[in-house]
Amino acid sequence: MSKIINPVLPGYHPDPSILRVGNDYYIAVSTFEWFPGIQIYHSKDMINWRLLTYPLTRESQLNMIGNVNSGGVWAPCLSYSEGMFFLIYTDVKSRMGAFKDTHNYLVTAENIEGPWSEPIYLNSSGFDPSLFHDEDGRKWLVNMIWDFRKGTNSFAGIALQEYSVEEIRLVGPVQNIFKGSEIGLTEAPHIYKRNGYYYLVTAEGGTWYTHAVTIARSTSLFGPYEIDPTNPILTSDENKKDQLQKAGHGSLVETQNGEWYMAHLCGRPVVDKKCILGRETAIQKCYWTEDDWLRVEGGPNPSTIVEAPDLQLHPFEQESNLDDFQGHSLKKYWNSLRRTFTEDWISLTERPGYLTLKGGESMSSLHHQSLLARRLESFTVEVETAVEYTPENFQQMAGLIFYYDTDDYVYLRITTHETLGKCIGIIESKHGVYDELLDQDIPLKSTGEVKIKAKVDQQWLQFAYAEEDEWKNIGSKIDISHLSDDDADYIRFTGTFVGICTQDLSGQKKPSYFSYFKYDEL
């Protein structure tokens, strides 16, 4: 019997929305401030997955310049009806304090790989929107309602409103159909219909170690909804260290053979409940009871090894983890911060055989950083790159970075110094506090290419560099457990990226040239 090994999407892949169309399975996940927007993965057996596409590739679809950390694209919902794919998402502009500016949009496509339409604005009343296609052809938007008022439940219930395909907008009254269970923090609504019941699946308990999937049902779309007496149907036991943690935010799919599965987010702490890989995606097998309630097999706690559906195995050839920058397009796993891939800051053709990055704003910027990165997807990884760079002043830097957000990163960078000349050193920002981890930067002999690499083992990071063929460790091992949702004194939602970047704080856009990037899971 084939097995699903969780997480099926390791590394930062939160808020999964799973969908089957024919024999194909898709999962859409949140991307927050990283561009392009929304990753869609593809499978035919729910065991083997490949990154297929990003729907939001244009600034006209998603303009995140200036978006706050852990803002941007929250909780997409992917659905299909009458030959058309529908994708709902939130673009979060502000989220700290009492207020949240959460704008909800819809894009559509006849083909999952696009082209995807320009966005249709829906509402801004809350986040986690999804679209339900009823059997009579009508379509309904649901999203949680955010209540900023003092002394109220900020998670004020689930709003329902009809969407008109003909008018390309929401129509009719807004109804609050569900105020949540006693668990609270009710969000991430999805509606499913089976055996005469409308099932409302929600996330409750907050996206922390108390996260959970709950369910309620009604014979009417508009309620009242009866809460499952055994809720939560999925949640983690935080006392079991070998268990997937933070299980919640579930989405359901039925196979061709009538089997049911739930995709959900989870986390795997490495130390002190800190998940440096971010929130990941796992899949659980489900079943229906005789009285028409949904249950997770072996639940309510998540399983790492799950019985796979009765489908033919279909492995995919995965994209190479060595990028020599020889092509004319970036590999799919690359992402940038907030900005689109435009020739004014990144190019594969300006100097053939190299990736050219033009110096951008600082690591603290919410606007125009020149940073290209990919998800850290394993606890033991070695990454290596080589850069040709001739900085002219201390405001110019380039190198290899492990990045969570503007407050937390570790950066092996090349720069220049008034007395040392061209040199290499380590910059760290921890909880927003800047530090330099060497007593003094190390002078570099070469004016040409410098190789730099890093090895990650759990929460420990070791940098090294080579001017010719001799690798030398630089600095001591660095604790990178602060590169996690869990280490800040405020809520945040992404994960660790590793990549290359360059800054020019003088504004001259001094370029750096990278000849390859290699990522090896050990």
Give pLDDT, residue 241: 84
How far is residue 122's CA from residue 90's CA, in Å, rounded to a whole number?
Answer: 10
Residue 5, classed as helix, strand or coil, is: strand
How far is residue 242's CA from residue 228's CA, in Å, rounded to a whole number?
Answer: 28
Give pLDDT, residue 1: 80
Q: Is 187 a catalytic residue?
A: yes
For the chain, how many residues are written?
522
Q: Is 488 exposed, middle or buried (0-12, 13-18, 19+ CB in 10 A)?
A: middle
Q: How many CB atoms lie within 10 A of CB 13?
A: 30
Closest CA to 47 of 250, 188, 255, 202: 255
Token pair 């819809």 is found at: 106
Q: Is 15 a catalytic residue?
A: yes
Q: How many CB atoms lie within 10 A of CB 228?
A: 17
Q: How many CB atoms lie within 10 A of CB 220?
A: 10
How far is residue 41's CA from residue 39's CA, in Å, rounded to a whole number?
Answer: 6
How far is residue 492's CA from residue 403's CA, in Å, rounded to a whole number?
Answer: 14
Closest CA to 370 of 204, 226, 506, 503: 503
Check if the beta carbon of residue 53 is closer than 8 Å to that of residue 112: yes
Hey, what domains does the chain have and what are their CATH numbers?
3-307 (2.115.10.20), 322-521 (2.60.120.200)
Give pLDDT, residue 242: 85
Check if the beta carbon of residue 386 is closer than 8 Å to that of residue 399: no
How far is residue 88's CA from residue 75's CA, in Å, rounded to a whole number?
Answer: 8
The side-by-side arrangement of strands in the sheet containing 101-109 is 72-81, 84-94, 101-109, 120-123
Closest CA to 40 of 100, 85, 72: 85
Check if the beta carbon of residue 375 is closer than 8 Å to that of residue 12: yes
Of 45, 91, 128, 187, catalytic: 187
Token pair 């009458």 is found at: 82
Which residue type does 101 have?
Answer: D
Check if the beta carbon of residue 384 is closer than 8 Å to that of residue 461: no
Q: How many CB atoms lie within 10 A of CB 122?
A: 21
Check if the beta carbon of residue 197 is closer than 8 Å to that of residue 292: yes
Token pair 């304090």 is found at: 97
**How would DSSP label each residue in 277-288?**
T-SEEEEEEEEE
Largest CA distance in the chain: 78
Task: Kindly state the tokens that stand for 314.
Answer: 């279909």
Q: Is the dihedral of CA 74, 79, 84, 85 positive or negative?
A: positive
Predicted confidence pLDDT, tens digits, the chain (522 residues): 899 999 999 999 999 999 999 999 999 999 999 999 999 999 999 999 999 999 999 999 999 999 999 999 999 999 999 999 999 999 999 999 999 999 999 999 999 999 999 999 999 999 999 999 999 999 999 999 999 999 889 999 999 999 999 999 999 999 999 999 999 999 999 999 999 999 999 999 999 999 999 999 999 999 999 999 999 999 999 999 889 999 999 999 999 999 999 999 999 999 999 999 999 999 999 999 999 999 999 999 999 999 999 999 999 999 999 999 998 899 999 999 999 999 999 999 999 999 999 999 999 999 999 999 999 999 999 999 999 999 999 999 999 999 999 999 999 999 999 999 999 999 999 999 999 999 999 999 878 899 999 999 999 999 999 998 899 999 999 999 999 999 988 899 999 999 999 999 999 999 999 999 999 999
DSSP 512: E
**How would DSSP label each residue in 172-227?**
EEEEEEE---TT---EEEEEEEETTEEEEEEEES-SSTT-EEEEEEESSTT-PPEE
Residue 248, classed as helix, strand or coil, is: strand
Token pair 């983890």 is found at: 321
How far is residue 370's CA from residue 164's CA, in Å, rounded to a whole number?
Answer: 41
Print the SS3 string covering 107-128. Answer: EEECCCCCCCCCCEEEECCCCC
All residues at 6 or more sequence positions from 461 whose CB lies less than 8 Å from its CB, including other chains: 402, 410, 454, 455, 477, 478, 479, 480
Relative to beta strand 380-388, strand 449-457 is antiparallel
